[in-house]
Structure 1
Amino acid sequence: METQYFTRGTTLIIVTASADPTWVPRAARLQRRGIRPSVVLIDSGSFNSLLTAEPVRAALRSAGIPYVAVRRGDDIGTVLSQKPQ
């Protein structure tokens, strides 16, 4: 992540279908610097992938990073209007 472009108080929206939670600590590091990450997590498992988003969800919960999960068939407007987890 290009941290030099984000200043304290910036809100960063991360949209990803990654089932690999290794990026979450980098987002948590940004959060500690005063940048507010929020995640739109596309649940690849709901699109017939063998991978599940649960490891990423667990890492986000542990880091205290708000997220919404989009699954196949969801109405994107409804999902994005919900309070993040």
Structure 2
Amino acid sequence: MTETQQWHLYMIRCHGGELYTGVTTDVERRFKEHQAGGAKAAKYLRGRGPLQLAYHELIGDKRAAHQREWQVKQLSRTQKLQLIAKKEQGSN
């Protein structure tokens, strides 16, 4: 991977409603890896399907993406759900 790639933050909603947060350069590919449940999937998500991509945002560089991931992981569940809802309202 090169430093010129655009990084994204994403959140996945599990079957039980849990939220998983991660970063990647390719949201679609990464989500498919999680869905497949193979070696590249996050251990946390295995057996928690079906999975739903609930949120994603373009961040920019890798460092900024990891900083944003940390910020989002510090949010309460309610705040994360508000972030998702705000994004959904903006896409309508």
TM-score, normalization: structure 1?
A: 0.29
Relative contact order, higher structure (CA 8 A, sep 6+): 2
